[in-house]
Structure 1
Amino acid sequence: MPTRSSLYLILLTSFTALTAAKNVTHITECPSLTPRCKPTNVNDLRADDIKVIGALGDSITTGFGIMGFDLSIPQLAAMENAKNEYRGLSYGIGGDKNAFTIPNYIEHYQPNITGFSKGAHPVQTCNPDNCNRTLSLLGNGGDGLNAALTGATSMHLGYELDYLIESMQNIQGIDFENDWKMINIQIGSNDMCGACNTSYVNEVTPEKYGGYIEAAIDRIHASVPNVIVNLISTFNVSQVFPLTEAYPNHCVNRNIDLCPCASVPGGLEIMSQLNNAYNEKLVQIYKKYQKSKFHNFTVVYQPIKFNIPAFPIDFFSTLDCFHPSLKGHEWVSKVIWNQLFLPQSYKPKSIDFDGNQTIYCPVDSDRINVH
């Protein structure tokens, strides 16, 4: 009987009219696409049509803690560099050379893509009192159009958009009005983790969460021409803690304090319920924009219902056993890239970790699937 991963690849490769489609271990193994004129409709976008990429999100998108720290040397000596944001390695917006990221996959087809973040710098934490100040620090160290802020929740997306839109309008070498753009949005872990805080609980309801996401997308539509919003579902972070607790040798610095709700009786169940409710809101938002037929704007949705209890422990950073490691980011980049070319109804309902996950090579007939 075929595994879920093998069925996923079968579905992916079945949606091309050319036999040249294939799956590879590195994007450089993919054939180039045949050059063509710039499309005028968002329904006709190929990978090589994306000239600008940006991102909104939280510490996952900033790349916080990706490299972890060396478990073979004293912990305190290794901690300082481990607390960096490795923005150039972030799955959805990183552009470090040879990194497994969505911008680098696009760059294989569109060498002039811009907006990706590069390198690393010390963490810049956002909380309700200092997000605007933290935002002012972006743009000084290879951040590009990575507007994500460590510690951000959905209520902070407005701050992030302040940076993203202004930076995109001023970025050199693009035609802001006519070049095609992609903005990845993935946020919600901190909303869930704050759900047990009595002074904060009213800001993380599914209704508030959905409202903040929808307001951000409406603002993008009003301010950014020729754009596809890639809306990525939330992770069920409640599943992380039972898994990491079972691996003390890897998780010597396991930091449950990063997620206050995880240490409250009944907190994991609250977070799990919110995860489901948040993703239902995201689906509703996606469907709303599907009904609106704009020629230069659309929203696509990537459901990433990860089977976290079965994940290998090194998916998580040794820094805190909460954030994804480099291995985790690389795998997530492949999963989301592959989904970009699948019709919504064929995207997997549950996703197991696959250490041999390949990368799909789109062909001339493939389009970024917007339905």
Structure 2
Amino acid sequence: MLSITAGFGILGLNLSQPPLVAAFNAFNEYRGLSYGIGGDEGALTVPNYIKHYQPNLKGYSVGDHIGLYCSVSSCPGRYIPEKDQLNAALSGSLSINLQHQLDYLLSEMKVIPGIDVQNDWKMINIQIGSNDMCSACESGYENITSPDAFASHIDAAVERIRANVPRVLVNLIGAFNVSQLFPVTAGQAYCRPQNNDPSTVGNVQECTCGSTPGGLDKMDELAVEYNKRLYAIYEKHQQTKSDNFTVVYQHSNLNMTSFPIEFFSNIDCFHPGLIGHQWVSKIIWNQLFSPQSLKPSVFNFDANETVYCPTDSDRIATN
């Protein structure tokens, strides 16, 4: 899980605030608004859709706090449990950091009041890969960001969950093809709210491949291969699913050319803003109730996207 799931920069830079306050808030992680695990009151998130039917849901993250960064060379893994709850995502994380995040998740799951680890059903979302793609152009990162390495990191995480978490549904979410956002956001004044210098747009500073010759093509290739590997892991576990464990897969082939610029956070035009998180929460939630054969293969932005309301006969599709 990475900075998107951590909720980094969701509310962006608010120019109506005093400059120092705006700058501080812009780099917060808005954990309670994160599409996949946020639970702030009124937020459009998967946990809040679940809470509509199961108000006793536990483990969703709330509120916000300063960003807590993790990298390959340094991952101190600081958490603020009273806000993070079971949101183990760390900004900057690559797939190789998943084991570190599981260390926190598996221990925290046992101490939150009201969670019966043995008998309660859990859903664990795994969505990562953007930082792997961005780092693939950096010297020394080729081996840990290759498709095979990515797959091994994900598979090891899923196997650890299977071995240690009873009654769990692992929700694998496809990696976003982040190369598409660079032509969409290039030259946009929205992406540099504090000045007129295009070179200061955050995405080209944060994503090495985004500013490297041939880097966008490399990310295109990695996005395809990463998602092939994720789907293969899902298929493997279709053969091993049981009454206690199953893996599902949600497509995330987002057509970013269809996105309004406000989909992105204005702090860097790399991370989704509030509009982006709200929309992604809907397409992930809606897919949960569709078998693989009926899931959309490409997602175009729709400001009027609706939230599916399951009936008594609906179940999360595990095939």
Structure 2: distance between partners of 1:72 and 1:110: 38
| Matching residue within 63, 68, 74 for 2:7 | 63
Aligned to 2:314: 366
SS at match of 2:242: coil
Contact 1:193 1:262 in 2 (8 A): yes
State the SS of the aligned residue for 1:228: strand
How does 1:14-33 map onto structure 2 within 5 Å? none
For residue 74 of structure 1, report the CA deviation from its aligned partner.
7.4
Who is 2:92 aligned against? Answer: 151
Q: Which residue of structure 1 lines up, in the alignment, with residue 142 of structure 2?
A: 201
1:164 to 2:164 alignment = no
Please report how far the alpha carbon of residue 309 of structure 1 lies from its aligned counterpart in structure 2 after TM superposition: 1.4
2:125 is the alignment partner of 1:181:
no
Alignment correspondent of 2:263: 315
User: Which residue in the other structure is 1:95 paired with?
Assistant: 39
SS in 2 for 1:334: helix
**Residues 74 and 250 (structure 1 numbering): CA distance in 2 closer, same or farther, change over 3 Å?**
farther
| Counterpart-to-counterpart distance in 1, 2:87 and 2:96 | 17
> Hey, what's the Cα distance between the residues in 1 that align with 2:107 and 2:30?
23
- Whole-angstrom CA distance in 2 between matches of 1:243 and 1:71: 23
Q: Distance in 2 between matches of 1:268 and 1:76?
A: 34
With 244-253 and 115-124 compared, the bigger mean Cα shift is at: 244-253
Shift of 1:218: 0.2
Q: Does the aligned pair in 2 maintain the 1:244–1:251 contact within 8 Å? A: no
Partner in structure 1 of residue 231 of structure 2: 283
User: Is structure 2 residue 28 aligned with structure 1 residue 84?
Assistant: yes
Distance 2:17 2:64 in 1: 22
- Secondary structure of 1:229's match? strand
Hey, what does 1:219 align to over in structure 2?
160
Which range moved further: 172-181 or 327-336? 172-181
Whichever residue aligns with residue 148 of structure 1, its letter is: A
Deviation at 1:249, TM superposition (A): 3.7
Residue type of the partner of 2:182?
F
Aligned length: 312
Distance 1:331 1:369 in 2: 21
Segment of structure 1 superposing worse, 293-302 or 276-285: 293-302
Cα distance between partner residues in 2 of 1:138 and 1:77: 23
Distance 1:269 1:328 in 2: 24
Q: State the secondary structure of the residue aligned to 1:269.
A: helix
> Who is 2:201 aligned against?
254
* 1:297 corresponds to: 245
Point out the structure with max Rg over C-alpha: 1
Query: By how many angstroms is 1:352 displaced?
Result: 0.3
The percent of aligned pairs where both chains have the same amino acid is 55
TM-score w.r.t. length of structure 1: 0.82
Q: 1:109 corresponds to which residue?
A: 53
Q: What 5-or-longer segments of structure 1 have no aligned partner?
A: 1-56
Contact 2:190 2:261 in 1 (8 A): no
**RMSD of the TM alignment (CA)?**
1.3
Distance change >3 Å, CA 293–CA 58, structure 1 → 2: closer
* Structure possessing the higher relative contact order (Cα contacts under 8 Å, 6 or more residues apart): 1
Aligned to 2:182: 241
Q: Which runs of 5+ in 2 are unaligned?
A: 194-199
